[in-house]
Amino acid sequence: QVRPASGYAYRVQRHHGIVAVFNIEPAPGDARADFVFKGPCEVELPKVLGIT
């Protein structure tokens, strides 16, 4: 688990934000995220943004 990034999802949602997780492998905090994208960020982020 990477710190301090592992605590961001909880803090963001506590302030009514939306959490999107980009990760290569499953992580314990994935269940808490609103959106989870599996794969390299340089591949997944352009897909999500519609710029591929």
Backbone torsions φ then ψ of 49, nearest 5 degrees:
-80, -10
Q: What is the mean pLDDT of residues 10-39?
A: 92
Q: Tally Cβ neighbours within 10 Å of residue 9.
A: 20
* 23 compared with 5, residue with greater pLDDT: 23
Distance CA 42, CA 29 (A): 21
Please state the three-class secondary structure of the chain as a single string. CCCCHHHHHHHHHHCCCCCEEEECCCCHHHHHCCEEEECCHHHHHHHHHCCC
pTM over 0.95: no
Mean residue pLDDT of the chain comes to 89
Q: Which two tokens stand for residue 29?
A: 């905090």
Domain residue ranges in the chain: 5-49
Please give the pLDDT value at position 4. Answer: 67
pLDDT of 21 over the 70 cut = yes
What pLDDT score does 2 carry?
Answer: 64
pLDDT of residue 5: 75
